[in-house]
Chain A
Amino acid sequence: EIVLTQSPGTLSLSPGESATLSCRASQSVSSSYLAWYQQKPGQAPRLFIYDASSRATGIPDRFSGSGSGTDFTLTISRLEPEDFAVYYCHQYDTSPRTFGQGTKVEIK
């Protein structure tokens, strides 16, 4: 199975700053079948990025995804108060589908 390793575990930032989240795969993710989700406490995850770099419906353009192969990045420019949450990467290239362990973006 493809193991996804996210870093850092926690990112402490202030509103208005930029965030860079990393997701590294144990083997290549074909066709960039890599997604990013945001999850807030008590809520289901919400799809933000799919196919490594495509924004899901309604996601603001301050969120961008990049990468291919084994290295992927989620960048959040100009953090807004509602952006502080946990972010998970997810590969849907091979079975079993797997997730990273999450990166928590917290207010500094």
Chain B
Amino acid sequence: QVQLVQSGPEVKKPGASVKVSCGASGSTFGDYYMHWLRQAPGQGLEWMGWINPNNGDTNSGQKFQGRVTLTRDTSSTTVYVDLSRLRSDDTAVYYCARAGPVDGLPGPFPIWGPGTMVTVSS
């Protein structure tokens, strides 16, 4: 049974950076794309980007380019999202989600992490 475990809540000041982790257990780490999404309070879901844990390739939404860095640590089967130059509207729950296989067709998100609350406030 695949499980995703995320790091704990964060409180940051505007202009700072935050790094959220997502550890995967119970599956072959490199076989599936891992995505990051976020959800502001009372709002809908927003896709941020993906990483191929096998080779480290990444792709992020245009809105986040220049501010987001997606990385992985194969030894600990963990992926990370690093968001810089934080603003108050970055306050949200950040989710990791496992998608389809890296050598297969596009897939939805059958497995989600529990979410990490990031609060940006002065």
Contacts and interface: CB of A to CB of B under 8 A. Distances in A.
Given A50-B108, A92-B106, A102 B44 contact: yes
Nearest to A93: B106
A99 B108 contact: no
B112 A100 contact: no
Interface string B10-49: 0000000000000000000000000100000000111100
Interface residues of B, number: 20
Given A50-B108, A95-B59, A100 B44 contact: yes
A100 B45 CA distance: 8
Interface of B is mostly: loop
Given A88-B44, A96-B47, A35 B108 contact: yes
A85 to B, nearest CB: 14
Contacts of A98: 47
Interface in B29-84: 35, 44-47, 59, 61-62
B110 interface: yes
Nearest to B48: A96
A56 interface: yes
Given A35-B108, A45-B109, A46-B112, 16 more contacts: A35-B109, A37-B109, A44-B114, A45-B45, A45-B112, A47-B108, A47-B110, A50-B107, A50-B108, A50-B110, A90-B108, A92-B108, A98-B47, A99-B44, A99-B46, A101-B44
Interface of A: 31, 33, 35, 37, 44-47, 50, 56-57, 88, 90, 92-93, 95-102
